[in-house]
Amino acid sequence: MAKLTKVFGAIFCVLGTIYLTVSIFLYLNSSAHLDYNTGKLQTLPQAGVFYFLMISILIFAFGILLANDKVIDNDHH
């Protein structure tokens, strides 16, 4: 069972990295970062990427947690 958690952890780490890369790309191409209108720069939630960024960080952290699971690895039989 321990090897299966490491596989799921690796999958979540890859997905979290992809989502994080996409959300950073969306943020850098939104009006929160680019100066389309000189007086109206948006914040991160107003640009619509804040929740996507937080979900990607949570998925990545959950993947790291599953990949580094030491409790299930210890077999005391």
Kindly report, residue by residue over 15-70, the tens digit of the pLDDT.
999 999 998 888 888 777 676 666 677 777 877 888 888 999 999 999 999 888 76
CA-to-CA distance for 2 and 77, rounded, in angstroms?
Answer: 14
The count of domains in the chain is 1
Per-residue confidence (pLDDT) for residue 43, from 0 to 100: 76
Asked if residues 64 and 13 have their Cβ atoms less than 8 Å apart, the reply is yes
User: Does residue 75 fall inside a structural domain?
Assistant: no
User: Does residue 72 fall inside a structural domain?
Assistant: no
User: Does residue 73 fall inside a structural domain?
Assistant: no
In the three-class reduction of DSSP (H, G, I as helix; E, B as strand; rest coil), residue 76 is classed as coil
**What domain range includes position 18?**
2-67
Q: What is the model's pTM?
A: 0.73
User: Does residue 44 fall inside a structural domain?
Assistant: yes
